[in-house]
Amino acid sequence: MQAEKQNAKSLDLDAARVSHSSGYLTTNQGVGISNTDDSLKAGKRGPTLMEDFIFREKITHFDHERIPERIVHARGSGAHGYFQVYESLAHLTSAHFLSDPKLVTPVFVRFSTVAGFRGSPDTVRDVRGFAVKFYTEEGNYDLVGNNMPVFFIQDAIKFPDLIHALKPEPNNEMPQAASAHDTLWDFVVNTPETMHNVMWLMSPRAVPQSYRMMEGFGIHTFRLVNAKGEFKFVKFHWKPLLGVHSLVWDEAQKIAGKDPDFNRRDLWEKIEEGQSVEFELAIQVLNPEDEFKFDFDVLDCSKLWPEELVPLQRIGKMTLNGNVSNFFAETEQVAFCPGNVVPGIDFTNDPMLQGRLFSYVDTQISRLGGPNFQQIPINRPLLTVNNNQRDGMHRMTIDEGQTSYYPNSLNNGQPHAARPDESHFEHYQEKVDGHIIRERSASFRDHYTQPAMFWNSMSDWEKKHIIDAFRFELGKCKNKSTHQKLVDMLGNVDPELAQKVAEGLGVTAPAKRAKPTTFSSPALSMANTPKSPKTKKAAVLVAEGFDRAQFDAVTTALTGSGACFDVVSCHLGPVTACDSSTVEANKTYATTAPVFYDALYIPGGSQAEILKGIPEVQEYLRDTFNHYKTIGLSGEASALLCLLRCEEQKEPGIICDPAPNMESYAADFLAALTAGRHFQRKIH
């Protein structure tokens, strides 16, 4: 099948590829170099000479190797892949890549955190960026979004204030990649429109388990325009086929210290192992006559469209199957701009979107050194660029010919304006009538109904996560008045939420008031996400004398389901089982940790007594239990449950049997792993 063979790394990047696998060293001018270890000196111990052009070129390039990092979304990871629509959407849009199910469109995706610098950890509490560049036959289309469907603010003019408040404080540049500090929450309590996105930020969505297991949203309302010039409002969603899954906060903090590259490494390794990363593209479509039928404004990006009111349609699938060859050249230099659209996709008057249309281009010009950033290989469209733009810093094309203007006669009027039968972009002709005014629509003023809807939609464990997150974040703020103001704001969302957060912060809960809504949207809860054992990983702890039959039964079940495992022991290399066979330990207690696994399994055998005396085994049991993950203990290893010092065998997700039937035991262990976190468990 064509799609299975497609790899977007075969876009027009080949001309820029250099393998450096053979040949001699040269300067950037192609001059051969016989020694790049010693600078040119006046005598072996004398001063370096300015005429050493080889040294100057090498050190000058090194001095300028780093470009300004992104102000937001600096910490990112990228991957190549392709997209195919399931059925033609020609009735909705003239965009060719959405109208031909046979067409395979190359894509490049960049996932990111928002607040931190390039060197910050992956697992911080933060919004995640989810940006997709489609290399379509009609030009590049960029769908630039986040893993949360709403935004903090409603108008782009406030964006500098939001980011200044979110970033490390300017007097001491702390904290790094964290929202738990005074300036962010001072901004929040003085800006009620932030409340909806803040609720998402305090939810488990802010600590995704992997980039492969988080949703993506276009956030804004766009238009789809068909060949007849008819339009529909649309919102875009990316749905991971593995479901939406998160870390717990203690786990996220520990991972940040043990492996700051946790999410980046996961994405890279899964693609390297040949496990494609898959997302379905879904849309919500709204007829223009229904623009004002809801109690929220469809152009307000701090609001979502509940799926119960505007159903979701899954229209195609994106498969990521190629890692980058050079992180800087591709992931770091890729330039996304919401204004990069193709015929059939158009904008709306969302004031946040309108500001982004300017801001992104302006940012890329500054970050990538001039107006020619589109000519960097990762940013080039598939089709030939044909216009009269010339010169500028870092121009990479040699534009031949006498003319660089239109209209002209000297070049026979070429390049010419696109004719009606040639692909070209036309803005939807919306009639606009109004006073020039610096004011916000009254329809944008409800800041609490949808946060209340989000809270109503959460499961018990998600609500607990949100309460604990507010307590943690505000507990880091030194300005006590901010605590009270935030709790008062939460009183407009839900009395229980405000009461619980107030108790944790030692402030007064607001007087109970009517909730703005009792409406809930089950689609917003991660409790309803798909669950699968695929790509999940278990830690299997072994020592000399482990029961090989029990080991084989569980590990065979894991690999047969699409899951995987690491064999963890005190040392790398072979470990001898009770039947004198061996297995290879590929991890040690020093090189890995329980936070990197979805489950823990310990087979029986005489090894149980050995493991009981290893302190790290207790750590594995404790962290796996406290992070609500599956624990499997079979045969003699069942006695290790005593290391948890309570009756955990009765808790969900503990598969413990001193005399197991291994066929049924392995099935039970796999079922518990597939179920995911066992949040019904009582953590002591």
Q: Is residue 418 part of a domain?
A: no
Bridge-based pairing of strands 564-569 and 277-286 is unpaired
Q: Is residue 651 part of a domain?
A: yes
Q: Is residue 15 part of a domain?
A: no
For 37-49, write each residue's pLDDT tens digit: 889 999 998 898 8
For residue 491, the enclosing domain spans 451-527
**133 and 259 together in one domain:** yes
**Percent of the chain at pLDDT exceeding 90:** 82
Residue with tokens 């029990």: 550
CA-based radius of gyration for the chain: 28
**185 and 299 together in one domain:** yes
Confidence of residue 12 (pLDDT cuts 50, 70, 90): low
Task: Tell me how far apart the alpha carbons of residues 149 and 127 are, in angstroms, rounded to a whole number.
Answer: 10
Q: Is residue 412 part of a domain?
A: no
CATH number at residue 576: 3.40.50.880
**507 and 578 together in one domain:** no
- What pLDDT score was predicted for residue 336? 97
Provide the domain count of the chain: 3
**115 and 255 together in one domain:** yes
Is residue 197 scored above 80 in pLDDT?
yes
- What pLDDT score was predicted for residue 10? 52
Confidence of residue 647 (pLDDT cuts 50, 70, 90): low
What is the average pLDDT across 581-605?
Answer: 98
Task: Tell me how far apart the alpha carbons of residues 240 and 535 are, in angstroms, rounded to a whole number.
Answer: 13
**274 and 257 together in one domain:** yes
Q: Is residue 403 part of a domain?
A: no
Task: Tell me how far apart the alpha carbons of residues 266 and 268 are, in angstroms, rounded to a whole number.
Answer: 6
**211 and 269 together in one domain:** yes
Confidence of residue 649 (pLDDT cuts 50, 70, 90): low
Coil, helix or strand at residue 631: strand
Q: Is residue 331 part of a domain?
A: yes
Query: Terminal CA-to-CA distance of the chain, rounded, Å?
Result: 53
Confidence of residue 9 (pLDDT cuts 50, 70, 90): very low
For 351-401, write each residue's pLDDT tens digit: 999 999 999 999 999 999 999 999 999 999 998 888 888 999 999 899 999
CATH number at residue 107: 2.40.180.10
Task: Tell me how far apart the alpha carbons of residues 126 and 206 are, in angstroms, rounded to a whole number.
Answer: 5
CATH number at residue 505: 1.20.1370.20
Q: Which residues contact 201 (CB under 8 A, 6 or more apart)?
A: 125, 126, 127, 148, 179, 469
**514 and 546 together in one domain:** no
Task: Tell me how far apart the alpha carbons of residues 323 and 108 are, in angstroms, rounded to a whole number.
Answer: 10
- What pLDDT score was predicted for residue 481? 96
**476 and 336 together in one domain:** no
Provide the annotated active-site residues: 73, 146
For 517-567, write each residue's pLDDT tens digit: 999 999 999 999 999 999 999 999 999 999 999 999 999 999 999 999 999
623 and 589 Cβ atoms separated by less than 8 Å: no
509 and 488 Cβ atoms separated by less than 8 Å: no
Bridge-based pairing of strands 76-85 and 105-113 is antiparallel
**493 and 517 together in one domain:** yes
Q: Is residue 171 part of a domain?
A: yes
Domain boundary residue, one of 326, 346, 379: 379
Domain boundary residue, one of 379, 410, 443: 379
Task: Tell me how far apart the alpha carbons of residues 284 and 236 are, in angstroms, rounded to a whole number.
Answer: 7
**126 and 253 together in one domain:** yes
Is residue 6 scored above 70 in pLDDT?
no
**499 and 537 together in one domain:** no
CA-wise closest residue to 144 among 372, 360, 323, 362: 360
**339 and 246 together in one domain:** yes
Q: Who wins on pLDDT, 435 or 11?
A: 435
Vertex 412: Cα angle to 406 and 415 (nearest 5): 50
Is residue 503 scored above 80 in pLDDT?
yes
Q: Is residue 393 part of a domain?
A: no
CA 179 to centroid of chain Cα atoms: 17
Is residue 1 scored above 80 in pLDDT?
no
Domain boundary residue, one of 481, 502, 527: 527
267 and 79 Cβ atoms separated by less than 8 Å: yes
For 222-263, write each residue's pLDDT tens digit: 999 999 999 999 999 999 999 999 999 999 999 999 999 999
